[in-house]
Structure 1
Amino acid sequence: MEIIFIRHGQGEHTLNLPGSLHIQDPSLTQEGVNQAEALRSRFPLTESDLVIISPVRRTLETAKILTKDVSCRKIVSPLVSPRMFPQNPEWKTLPCDRMLDKGSIKKEFPSFTIDEVLPEELWTSGINTMPEQEFSRVAETFLAWCKSQQVEHIYVVSHDGTINSYREFIRGEKLTREDFLTDAGWVKQRY
């Protein structure tokens, strides 16, 4: 199985750092839309592909563009929501990284399926500040579920810290913030 981790396109929250990190529910910029359209050209998805999306507007918008006119499975899951990297127990979730509620997602992105199997607490707290040991258990469960889907390609549309966290878990080696993907960047991982 191949997992293609894709970082969302440029979001409004990155335009005027650090103050813009306090924007709630930021959308893609026009550049972010252009980047997502380029991703669609780079990755011509098929009906047999699976796309897993973080429940944050900029990832949902990126995935909507990426999957335009493709009737593949599109699942929104807090298991790929924002995650601080590296972890620091003193840090709090920034307004730009708060997840949308399930009702808003269903209304605004009706072609996406909500992962209803997960405990409700994951939909409220996500994985952003989850301690490493707990995240390792979540990552193991998530990756086992991915493998059980028996598809050749799984696309995960997520965030730089989340992607680094999963890459570290899969590869068993340390990464740094220098390993972050750029806007609309991607990396393939065999699992």
Structure 2
Amino acid sequence: MELIFIRHGQGEHTLNLPESLHMSNPPLTIQGKIQAKKLQSALPITFEDVLIVSPALRTLQTASIWSENMECNRVVHPLVGPRIFPTRLAATTLPCDELLDLERLHYEFPNFVLAPDLASSLWSSGINVLSEDEFNLLTEEFIGFCRSFQRERIYIVTHDGTITSYRQKISSQQLTREDFLQETEHFRLIVE
């Protein structure tokens, strides 16, 4: 199975650092929307494809624009929500990385379904500050979820720290923040 991780388009929380990190639910910028639109030709999707998306506004907007006019499977999953990389003890989640309220998610993104059978705490707290051990256990759960679709390819729209965390765990390579993807870049991982 091939997992294709895509970083979301440019978000407003990146424009005026560090103050902008305190924005709650930052949307895509105009540039971020253009980047998401370009995904349509860079990574064309079909009705058979599965998009798994972080429950953050900027990732949902990226996936919505990218999959516009395409009837594919769209699933929101907190196991691909924002994640601090590298993990830091006593770290806290910044407002820009809080998960979108489920009511707002349903209202603004009705074409997306929520991943089933998850602990309700994941929908509120996410994976941002979980320990490496906790994250590693959930990685196996997430890969099992991806396998349940029985598809050769799964697209995952998420965040730089989340992508790097999964890359490190799945590939067993030591990575750093230097390995972060740029906006709407993608990385392919083969999972046996």
* Range of TM-score over shorter length: over 0.9
Contact residue 102 and residue 114 of structure 1 kept, 8 A? no
Match status 1:135 vs 2:129: no
Which residue of the partner structure matches residue 121 of structure 1?
121
**Further displaced range: 123-132 or 146-155:** 146-155
Secondary structure at 2:128 match in 1 = coil
What is the match of residue 102 of structure 2?
102
In the TM superposition, what whole-angstrom CA distance separates every residue of 1:124-146 from its partner, at most 9, and x where no partner exists?
A: 11100011001001001111221
Letter in 1 for 2:189: Q
Between 1:178-187 and 1:142-151, the stretch displaced more is: 142-151
Q: Which residue of 1 aligns with 2:85?
A: 85
> What is the match of residue 60 of structure 1?
60
Alpha carbons 1:21, 1:95 under 8 Å: kept: yes
How far apart, CA to CA, are the structure 1 residues paired with 2:124 and 2:162?
17
Alpha-carbon distance between aligned partners in 2 of 1:104 and 1:152, rounded to the nearest angstrom: 32
Structure 2 counterpart of 1:38: 38
Task: Please give the alpha-carbon distance, in whole angstroms, between the structure 1 residues aligned to 2:40 and 2:80.
Answer: 20
Aligned to 2:171: 171
Q: Deviations over 1:20-46 (max 9, x none)?
A: 111111000000001001111111111
* Letter of the structure 2 residue corresponding to residue 92 of structure 1: T
Match of 2:186 in 1: 186
Q: Distance in 1 between matches of 2:72 and 2:166?
A: 23
**Over 4 Å off, 4+ runs:** none
Query: Would the aligned equivalents of 1:50 and 1:74 in 2 still touch at CA under 8 Å?
Result: yes
* Distance in 2 (alpha carbons) for counterparts of 1:126 and 1:113: 17
- Equivalent positions of 1:140-155 (< 5 A) are 140-155=140-155
Counterpart position of 2:73: 73
Equivalent residue of 2:25, what SS?
A: coil
Once the 2 structures are TM-superposed, how far is the Cα of residue 185 of structure 1 from its aligned partner? 1.2
Which residue pairs with 2:10 in the alignment?
10
TM-score, normalised to structure 2's length? Answer: 0.97
Q: Per the alignment, in what secondary structure is the counterpart of residue 4 of structure 1?
A: strand
Question: 1:148 Cα shift?
Answer: 2.7
Q: Would you say the 8 A contact 1:49–1:152 is kept in 2?
A: no
Alpha-carbon distance in 2 for matches of 1:153, 1:66: 16
Query: Which amino acid in structure 2 is aligned with residue 152 of structure 1?
Result: E
Q: Describe the SS at the equivalent of 2:13.
A: helix
- Give the share of equivalent positions with the same residue, in percent: 50
CA distance in 1, matches of 2:47, 2:159: 24
Provide the secondary structure at the position in 1 that maps to 2:154.
strand
Q: CA RMSD in A?
A: 0.8
Q: List gaps (5 residues or longer) in structure 1.
A: none
- May I ask how many residue pairs the two structures share in their alignment? 191
